[in-house]
Chain A
Amino acid sequence: MAEVQQNTGGDGKKGQQKKMQIRVDFTPMVDMNMLLITFFMLCTTMIKSQTLTIALPSNEKVDNVENMSQASEDDAVTIILDAKRKAGSMEVDTVNGKVVPVVYYYFGKPGGPEGLGDAPETIAARNNLQESEFLGNDEKSGKARGIREIIQQRNKDVLTEINKLKEKYASGGFGSLETKEGREKAQLAYDEAASKVRKDENLKKPVIIIKSTPQASFGSLVSVLDEMQINSISKYQIDNMTKADSVMVIDYQNRHHK
C-alpha cells in the first residue's frame, strides 16, 4: 500500500539526515472510486418522462348535447379504439404481455345518412365502420399508412399549407438558420404561422371524435392523441361511446373476426 524508502547510503556522512521517500499506492483507492461511480451511474435517471397535455370538456350534460350535434356534421371522423380480441370471444388478446390496439373509424353519422336502424339486416348493410391500424410512416417511401393515412387525406388542405411552411422554414424563409438565435427566431415565426394555418376557418378541416371501448389500452389513447399532433388536427374531442357505436363494433367483429 504505502512504502517508505530509506536511502541506506553507506557513503552518507554521519549525522546527515536520512532522506525518506514516501509513496502511497492509490490503486485500491481508484478501484473503489470506480465501483462507486458505476453504482451512481446505474442509479441515476437521466431521462425525464414527457407529458401530453389534454383538455376535456366539462362533464355537464348540457355540453354533451351540443357536442353530439357538432359530431353529426358530415366532416366528422369518428375513431373508435379497441383491443385485439381472441378469436371467437370477447377476451382481450395479448402479444408478449402487450395489448394489440385496433382502430375502427367511420365518416359522418353512424350507419350513413339514413342512420343505423334497428333491424339486424339494416345494421349489417349500413354499417360504415372500417378497420385500421397504428402503422406510422412507411420506412422506405415515407408514406403514411394505416389510420395516419386516413387522417391525412381528410386534413389535406391544412397539411399542404403546413408543408409549404416547413419548406419555407428549411430554405430560410423565416430568417436565417445559421446562428442559434436566428434559428430560435425562425422557429417562433414558424410556430405562429403554423398555428394560424391550423385555425384558419377557410380551410376544410375534419372534426375528429375519439371514442374507446373499455378494453382498449391507455397506450392506444396516447397513440391516437399523437396522431392528432402529427397530422395538425386542431379540432378533436374525446367522447363516450354511443349505443350505435357499440352496435356497429359488435356487428363488425361478428362478421370479420370469427
Chain B
Amino acid sequence: MGRVKIAKKSTFIDMTAMSDVTVLLLTFFMLTSTFLSKEPATVITPPSVSTEKVQETNVVQVLVNPEGKVWLTMNNDTSSNWSNEKMRMALLDKVSEIYNETHKNKPVNFTEAQKYTFSKLGSFGVPLAKMGEYLDLVNQPEGQTKMDKWLEGDGDPNHPTGIPISWNDNESNPNEFQMWMKAMRQSSNENLVSAIKDGTGVAIKADQNTSFDIVHLVMDNLQTIHMNKFTLLTALKGAED
C-alpha cells in the first residue's frame, strides 16, 4: 500500500507587488497632504450653506479667539515674485512706518535679524512695542520653545498677546490692528491688494460660539478703514440641515 504523498508546498507569498502598491499610495498621500498649520487658537467655524471655496493664496486671515484676541496670517501667491518671507519683511517695515507716525516719542525699529525672524512666523499677534523683545528670544537656546512660552504668557492674564484692537472710528488715528490691515493694503504686492479690494482677500475666522460683539469689533474696525467687503470662514452643511 503506497501512502498518498502530500506535496510539500512553500507558504512563501511574494510581497513584491503588494509593496509596489503601498509605495505608490504612500507617495500619493505624501504629495497631496497639506499639514494643518499650527494656530494660536483652535476655533470651530460655524456651519453654512455657502459653497464658495476659501482662497488659498493672496489672503489675510484674521483669527479671532473666543476671548477677543486677534492674530493675523498672510498667505501669498508664491508664483509671483513675492515669497511669503519677503512679503512679511516688507510688511513689518510698512507697519512700523505707520506706527511711528503716531508714536513719535516711542518709535519702533527692527534690526535685520529681527526682520528675518519675523519673516519665518506663520501667524503673528504681538503688540508692536513688544515685538522686538519677542523676536529676540529666538537667539537664546531653545528659542522656539521660549517664544511659544512667551505667547502663552506664563499664566499672567495681562500678558500682551494678540494684536491690540479697540473700538475706533477715527481713521486718521488707527489702532494697531488697523495699522496692520492698512499695511497689507499698501503693500507693493498687487495681487494681494486687488484681492483685498475684491473682498476675497480678508477672511475672518472665528468660533461659532464666539459672541457677536467680539466679531463685531473686528468688523467695525475694518469698516472704519473702508474695508467693507470681506469673507467669513465657515464649514459646509447641507441646505436642509
Cβ 8 A contact of A33, one of B13, B26, B45: B26
Question: Is A222 part of the contact surface with B, judged by Cβ < 8 Å?
Answer: yes
Kindly name the residue among A50, A99, A139, A217 whose own CB sees the greatest number of chain B CB atoms within 10 A: A50
Question: Is A20 part of the contact surface with B, judged by Cβ < 8 Å?
Answer: no
Chain B interface size, as a band, is 35 or more
Q: How far is the CB of B33 from chain A (nearest CB, A)?
A: 4
List the B side residues contacting A57 at CB < 8 Å. Answer: 223, 228
- Residues of A41-61 whose CB lies within 8 A of B: 41, 43-45, 47-59
A54 pairs with B233, CB closer than 8 A: no
Question: Is A98 part of the contact surface with B, judged by Cβ < 8 Å?
Answer: yes
Cβ 8 A contact of A59, one of B13, B49, B215, B223: B223
B19 pairs with A37, CB closer than 8 A: no
Question: In the bound complex, how far is the Cα of B44 from the Cα of A99, in angstroms?
Answer: 13
Kindly name the residue among A52, A212, A221, A223 whose own CB sees the greatest number of chain B CB atoms within 10 A: A52
Q: How far is the CB of A85 from chain B (nearest CB, A)?
A: 13
A136 pairs with B241, CB closer than 8 A: yes
Kindly name the residue among A45, A48, A58, A219 whose own CB sees the greatest number of chain B CB atoms within 10 A: A219
Given contacts A41-B29, A55-B228, A56-B223, A26 and B212 within 8 Å (CB-CB): no
Interface string of B221-241 (1 = CB under 8 A from A): 001101011111111100111
List the A side residues contacting B213 at CB < 8 Å. Answer: 214-215
- Residues of B166-214 whose CB lies within 8 A of A: 169, 199-200, 203, 206-214
A217 pairs with B212, CB closer than 8 A: yes
Given contacts A81-B212, A226-B48, A50 and B234 within 8 Å (CB-CB): yes
Question: In the bound complex, how far is the Cα of B32 from the Cα of A213, in angstroms?
Answer: 43
A212 pairs with B212, CB closer than 8 A: yes
B52 pairs with A51, CB closer than 8 A: yes
The interface of chain A, by Cβ under 8 A from chain B, is 23-27, 29-30, 33-34, 36-37, 40-41, 43-45, 47-59, 81, 83, 92, 94, 97-99, 136-137, 139, 212-223, 225-226, 229-230
Q: A30-B22, A214-B213 are in contact. List 7 more A-B contacts (CB 8 A).
A: A49-B233, A53-B230, A56-B223, A59-B224, A218-B206, A225-B232, A229-B50
